[in-house]
Amino acid sequence: MKKKIVLIVAIVLGIALCFFGFKKFYLEKQNKAKVVENVDKTSQSNIDTTVIETVAASDTLQIDDEDDKSSNSENKDQQEELNKWLNKIKYYIDRGNYSKAKSCFKQLKVITKDKKMLEDLKSQIDKIKNSKSSSGKENTTKKWIIEKVAAQDTTYYIIKNSATGLKLSNRYYSKEVAEKELENFKNIFQ
């Protein structure tokens, strides 16, 4: 009887946690959508501020300072968020890290809808993907070598791929045997 009560309580708590987690996720998604709208509005409005100041001075237009400050702070926050993701993407592009640059790009797409900027970044990210060639890590017979390993009590030779660093687990205690096994190993690839 107690087990059933504990099970029911656990199920109810699980459902409640899922509900509140979904509610939080839904609210965050709505907030991100609002940020996207506001960032798009700010990026599309390229109005010269000097023109606004001269119009305000000539017409003696009075703007409520509190509303202006709050909208400026929202725009600043949105611009900071946009700059943060742009900097991350540029950092990963410079480092040649395709997967992280792509992940940050997805986040940036949520924040802004500026198609020109997104296309430029996407082309830069695609260049990273296309520039990574596997020619340096090809598994060819020329890449396999013999390496001498000095342990505490003995010295032995192993077969190692110089491009990838892959080492075979066999130990050869004489160089001649290791060279013979390397030749046998290379014959497998040919």
β-pair type (144-150, 155-161): antiparallel
Secondary structure (3-state) at 165: coil
Q: What is the pLDDT of residues 83-139, one digit of tens each?
A: 888 888 888 888 888 888 888 888 888 888 888 888 888 888 888 877 755 555 567
What pLDDT is stored for residue 99 in this prediction? 84
Q: Quick one: which of 143, 142, 89, 94 has its CA closest to 112?
A: 89
Compute the distance between CA of residue 119 and CA of residue 114 in angstroms, rounded to an integer: 9
> How far does CA 80 lie from the centroid of its chain?
18
Question: Could you tell me which residues are beta bridge partners of residue 157?
Answer: 148, 172
| Residue type at 180 in one-letter notation | K
